Amino acid sequence: MISYDYFILDNGLKVYVHQDYSTPIAAVNIIYNVGSRDEEEHKTGFAHLFEHLMFGGSKNIPSYDTPLQKVGGENNAFTSPDITNYYITLPAVNIETAFWLESDRMLSLSFDQKVLDVQQKVVIEEFKQRYLNQPYGDVWLKLRPLAYQVHPYKWATIGKEIAHIEDAVMDDVRSFFYKHYLPNNAILVVAGPISVEEVKQLAKKWFEPIPAGKLSPRNLPQEPIQTASRFLEVTAKVPLDAIYKVYHTQGRHDVGYNAVDLASDILGRSKSSRLYEKLVKEQPIFNSINAYVTSSLDPGLMILQGNLNKGISIEEGDAAIQEVLNDFLKNPVSEEELTKVKNQAESTLVFSEVELLNRAMNLAFASNAGDVEYANLESSKIQAVTVDDISQQANRILTKENCSTMYYRAN
């Protein structure tokens, strides 16, 4: 269980405090309720671009990293389709430095054209290196628009195409910042050896003067139910043929999600999973194969992906996967098999919460999703899943009509 106290500032900033006096280190995590799903289709990649721009100097602080390094701190950030998250770890005695830095860039970026020019080049280079010039790097650039027809999950967080980043101008940057980077669109979590009263004083000093903004309603198009299988074939210079099969599932906090998550674990989480046992160990069809879910806030995907051994056709691999799925749907999961994946999931959860920063993040993610208690309910939700739940969700999701398949052929 992650303990916490909570208060909200006059400008709408939600603040959570998780006290832990076993460490001299503090973690400061701030999450903005904006991700790539909030972008316009002709201007994608902005949420991720902003993650970079937020380190390029703010209204009163030309260099973000320098003062933080002087007090022994570290920082980083990441963007997802649902959120943008920034975090700092530093000695607790220097925690006010984190409040100063984060509040100043929430107040206003420097909006320096040179910074924009530099970060555009950085993001474009990242796009090329990670997505275009790396084997299988463009998989999600192709899979997302195959699986999603209308929901903005159909483009990757990096953006739909490089041109959208290249064409970004300062007016776009200002507009995006003042629309989303608002105290009433953010959540601050402070964790470590610090009192609630001290956090309250620092939050009021550094964040409360920042004015709240007008939040735009989030009217995202709902993805229609997929009623027919979809298929895409790609050829590229990659080491091995690969196959990707994706199925629409619930959102992260929807009823049935945990059963789907555990079903994916049974199918492909580890070397003792069904797909690995049958198609890597017993039959040397695949070099590697796994299954997982995207855990997105809006309805997401279960993904099955594998690289085939040389001499095995993609068609053979696809048929072999389907055979394993048919057996999974036909024969109920045993209590022993379910207990095993529950224990694996529980272990992952417990070990993740050893780290102070992870506890802070979990509180931030849960609060942003609508209920901070989500952070403390995960274990009970995992344990509540039954064999019948697995069977019901598997039969609902793992249908041919709900499947999008991509063959990735090596040339």
pTM, full prediction: 0.95
- Per CATH, 5-206 and 230-410 having the same topology is answered yes
**230-410 classified as CATH 3.30.830.10:** yes
Within a 10 A sphere around the Cβ of 170, how many other Cβ atoms? 11
Average pLDDT over every residue of 148-173:
96
The residues spanned by each domain of the chain are 5-206, 230-410
With tokens 């993740």, the residue in question is 352
Helices and strands per DSSP (H, E), number in the chain: 15, 11
Query: Smallest Cα–Cα separation from 37: which of 393, 361, 372, 294?
Result: 294
Residue 55 φ/ψ, nearest 5 degrees: -100, 5
Residue 206 φ/ψ, nearest 5 degrees: -100, -30
Average pLDDT over every residue of 228-254:
97
For residue 273, name the pLDDT band (cuts at 50, 70, 90). Answer: very high
DSSP letter for 236, please: E
Q: What gap in Å lies between CA 369 and CA 362, rounded to an integer? A: 11
**5-206 classified as CATH 3.30.830.10:** yes
Asked if residue 178 has pLDDT above 90, the reply is: yes
Q: Which residues contact 144 (CB under 8 A, 6 or more apart)?
A: 153, 154, 155, 156
What pLDDT, on the 0 to 100 scale, is given for residue 110? 87
Residue 253 φ/ψ, nearest 5 degrees: -115, 20
Q: What gap in Å lies between CA 91 and CA 356, rounded to an integer? A: 13
45: phi > 0 → left, psi -120 to 50 → alpha, else beta; which? Answer: left
Token representation of residue 43: 């201007």
Q: List the 301-308 sheet strands across, edge first.
A: 230-236, 403-410, 242-248, 301-308, 286-293
Q: What gap in Å lies between CA 191 and CA 89, rounded to an integer? A: 9
What pLDDT, on the 0 to 100 scale, is given for residue 59? 86
Within a 10 A sphere around the Cβ of 149, how many other Cβ atoms? 12
DSSP string, 293-307: E---SSS-EEEEEEE
Q: Maximum Cα–Cα distance for the chain, whole Å? A: 66
With tokens 């594998």, the residue in question is 306
Token representation of residue 355: 């780290």
Average pLDDT over every residue of 158-176:
94
Share of the chain above pLDDT 70, in %: 100
